[in-house]
């Protein structure tokens, strides 16, 4: 697609004998044409560099080039669509579902109101997003709120949103990962309260454990509160051929395609269980409990005995979190909650296991900093 054309001789203004005014306009016209030519050349160069940066996965820098190109050629749809494509890669679409999760929003706001209580405390919000939790903390009466965001594009948007809501004098956005923050340089003092929602459907996938460990050591006062203060992981044995087929394939069109299972997900992935036929073959069992405020938060392994409640085929483990936000406020993505934006976490086994009713199974539960895994014996 040829987006930018130069200016040919046919574009040059004709000679005129219309007098001094026309002569001045004629002198200005070539300069204006030259500026247009220069702008088009600059746009071409920016677009080419943007594509090169995007191809090497330097998405933030690529977006900056396309934004500059758009400022010179605002009506160019190809540039606008390319920018939007980059933004979609930098800002996952789950942000929209999260922002529209009213249960989640109400829970965090209530927890912040209880924890802050108009105390003029200093709040640190890790993972700004739109700045929603920071604005809630400011509205609840926090004296100062500092929030960090690792994606520069999101950080810039958060600043604009916070300013639009006239809270920029209360909330400071820092475009860094929390582990790069230094007290006295990025924030003036240790925080009294940490609010953090870097959790995925399986709780640990966005790195809440190392983030909290670092914050407790480097960024928070010793007696600081954390929202959430605690969390539990609960699980059940899952029978669901439909869910199993979302991660494994053995035959297609009469051909053996089982080698493709080498790229199946080995840990967990999100599933809205109510959208698939399924059955639970065991009662609910607790796998782990985490104390974010005082606990060690190190990797662990534990085994539990699970007794099946009916005959069936165990395709995997379904599990979910319960977040204790303090003050009696609890938030969960349990299978019974069909409304919140988080789905359930599911780990499926390549080879399902047939079980009888009242059969005892040993389940080994393991977690590291960013994942939870289960195995059966």
pLDDT band at 86; cut points 50, 70, 90: very high
Burial (CB count <10 Å: 0-12, 13-18, 19+), residue 217? exposed
Please report the pLDDT score of residue 11 as a whole number. 41
Tell me what pLDDT residue 339 has: 86
DSSP letter assigned to residue 336:
T
Is CATH 3.40.50.150 correct for 96-197? Answer: yes
Residue 293 · residue 281 · CB < 8 Å: no
For 130-180, the pLDDT digits (tens) are 999 999 999 999 999 999 999 999 999 999 999 999 999 999 999 999 999
Q: Give 21: exposed, middle or buried? Use CB within 10 Å, 0-12, 13-18, 19+.
A: exposed
pLDDT tens-digit profile of 13-32?
444 455 555 566 555 666 66
Question: In 10 A of CB 324, how many CB atoms?
Answer: 21
Are the CB atoms for 63 and 90 separated by under 8 Å? yes
pLDDT digits (tens, 9 = 90+) for 314-364: 999 999 999 999 999 999 999 999 989 999 999 999 999 999 999 999 999
pLDDT of residue 38: 79
pTM of the model: 0.85
Q: Name the residue ranges covered by the structural domains of the chain.
A: 19-90, 96-197, 230-376
Q: Please give the pLDDT value at position 4.
A: 39
Catalytic residue among 64, 149, 197, 239: 197
Please report the pLDDT score of residue 1 as a whole number.
Answer: 39
Taking the domain 230-376, which CATH number applies? Answer: 2.70.160.11
Question: Which candidate in 49, 67, 206, 350 is catalytic?
Answer: 206
Quick check: is 197 catalytic?
A: yes
Average pLDDT of every residue of the chain: 92
Assess whether 350 carries a catalytic annotation: no
């Amino acid at each position: 697609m040829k987006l930018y054309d130069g200016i040919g001789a046919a574009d040059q203004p004709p000679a005129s004998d219309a007098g001094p005014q026309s002569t001045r306009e004629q002198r200005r016209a070539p300069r204006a044409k030259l500026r247009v030519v220069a702008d088009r050349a600059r746009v071409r160069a920016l677009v080419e560099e943007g594509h090169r940066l995007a191809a090497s996965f330097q998405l933030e820098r690529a977006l900056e080039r396309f934004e500059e190109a758009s400022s010179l050629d605002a009506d160019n749809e190809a540039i606008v669509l390319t920018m939007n494509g980059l933004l979609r890669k930098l800002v996952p679409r789950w942000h929209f579902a999260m922002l529209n999760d009213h249960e989640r929003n109400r829970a965090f706001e209530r927890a912040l109101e209880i924890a802050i209580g108009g105390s003029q405390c200093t709040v640190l919000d890790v993972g700004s997003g739109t700045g929603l939790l920071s604005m809630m903390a400011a509205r609840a009466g926090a004296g100062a709120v500092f929030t960090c965001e690792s994606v520069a594009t999101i950080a810039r948007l958060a600043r604009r949103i916070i300013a639009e809501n006239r809270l920029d004098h209360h909330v400071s956005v820092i475009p860094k990962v929390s582990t790069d923050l230094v007290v006295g340089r990025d924030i003036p003092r240790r925080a009294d309260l940490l609010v953090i929602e870097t959790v995925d459907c399986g709780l640990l996938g966005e790195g809440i454990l190392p983030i909290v460990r670092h914050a407790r050591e480097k960024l928070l006062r010793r007696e600081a509160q954390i929202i959430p203060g605690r969390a539990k992981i609960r699980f059940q044995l899952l029978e669901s051929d439909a869910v199993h087929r979302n991660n494994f394939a053995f035959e297609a069109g009469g051909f053996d395609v089982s080698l493709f299972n080498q790229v199946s997900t080995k840990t967990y992935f999100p599933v809205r269980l109510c959208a698939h036929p399924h059955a639970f073959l065991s009662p609910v069992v607790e796998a782990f409990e985490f104390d974010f405020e005082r606990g060690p938060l190190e990797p662990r392994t534990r085994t539990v005995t699970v007794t099946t409640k009916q005959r069936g085929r165990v395709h995997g483990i379904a599990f979910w979190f319960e977040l204790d936000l303090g003050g009696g406020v609890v938030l969960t993505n349990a299978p019974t909650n069909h409304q919140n934006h988080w789905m359930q976490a599911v780990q499926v086994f390549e080879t399902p296991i047939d079980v009888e009713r009242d059969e005892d199974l040993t389940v080994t539960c393991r977690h590291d900093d960013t994942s939870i895994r289960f195995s059966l014996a």
